[in-house]
Copies of this chain bind each other. A is one copy, B any other.
Amino acid sequence: MKLTLLGTGDSGQVPVYNCRCAACERARRDPACRRGPACASIEHRGERWLLDAGLMDLAERFPPGSFKGFLQTHYHADHAQGLLHLRWGRDCRLPVLGPADPQGFADLYKHPGILDFSRTLTPFEPLRLMGLDVTPVPLRHSRPTLGYVFSDGGRHWAYLTDTAGLPGDTFEFLKRLSLELMVLDCSFAPQAHAPRGHNDLTRALEIIDGLAVGKAVLTHIGHEFDAWLTANQQALPAEVLVGADGAVFR
């Protein structure tokens, strides 16, 4: 299994338009510190699926034949906007597997073009992709949202964004698996109260600790959390990494 993080920012990305905070200024100076909208890829046995479609240059990055389709966590703009252009492609068909969400994003259902939204996923019902078991797990967000667990027999990896905490059944399911790798929504620096829709670092560390994950990678990182991290690098336990656009895990 090979997981590549392609966009580790939140909806505002890093840099945020017109923001002068330390993280946004650094990202303007150093493109390696930029954070694009939500997207990742999972590869196994020479096949690739994309996780979310937040990036707007998917047509350039992933020419036809280079991937099989999308595993969509949910239909917020920062996860689905890359589909707006791609749908008008020719002579191919791209399945978009994801949660049952009657609304979807913008007019994608009305004018799907080459995208095939016909198959919605049932929580905890695994599908077989790339020779892996892929299990959708419910997350806690402002609209129907699924995380994905990839299992190659021995190892289990999870991609979990966007979420604030985890539903009880998802937590129990993940705990039994003993995850080797977990990519987890952590949008905010530690907050006095649990934020809605996304984890802050306090809640993310609670989940990581509770699940006894081998390695955790934070994603969906907001610019303020990014700035906070530069001043608080010691805040993270050894098994917790901050995701970066382009980071690869094998």
Interface set of A (CB-CB < 8 Å, partner B): 11-13, 15-20, 37, 56-57, 59, 63-64, 77-78, 81, 84-86, 88-92, 105-107, 114
Given contacts A16-B89, A18-B89, 12 further A-B contacts (CB under 8 A): A11-B85, A11-B88, A13-B88, A17-B85, A17-B114, A18-B90, A18-B91, A18-B114, A56-B57, A56-B81, A77-B84, A78-B84
**A91–B20 alpha-carbon span in the complex (Å):** 10
Cβ of A77: which chain B residues have Cβ within 8 Å of it?
Answer: 84, 106-107
Question: Measured between C-beta atoms, what is the minimum distance from A75 to chain B in Å?
Answer: 10
A116 to nearest B CB, angstroms?
15
* Chain A interface helix/strand/loop/mixed: loop
Q: Which residues of B contact A89 (CB under 8 A)?
A: 12, 16-19
Give the residue among A17, A20, A84 with the most B Cβ atoms within 10 A.
Answer: A17
Contact present for B91 and A37 (CB under 8 Å)? no
**Bound CA–CA A72/B57 (angstroms):** 23
Q: Knowing A37-B85, A56-B56, A85-B37 touch, does A64 contact B105 (C-beta < 8 A)?
A: no
Question: Which residues does chain B contribute within 8 Å of A19, judged by CB atoms?
Answer: 89-91
Residue of B nearest to A89 (CB): B17
Closest to A10 in B: B88
What's the nearest-Cβ distance from chain B to residue A25, in Å? Answer: 12
Q: Which 4 A-B pairs have the closest CB atoms?
A: A17-B89, A12-B88, A56-B56, A18-B64
Residues of B with C-beta under 8 A to A13: 85, 88
| CB-based nearest B residue for A113 | B12
Give bound CA distance, A72 to B22, whole Å: 33
How far, in angstroms, from A136 to B35 measured CA to CA in the complex?
38
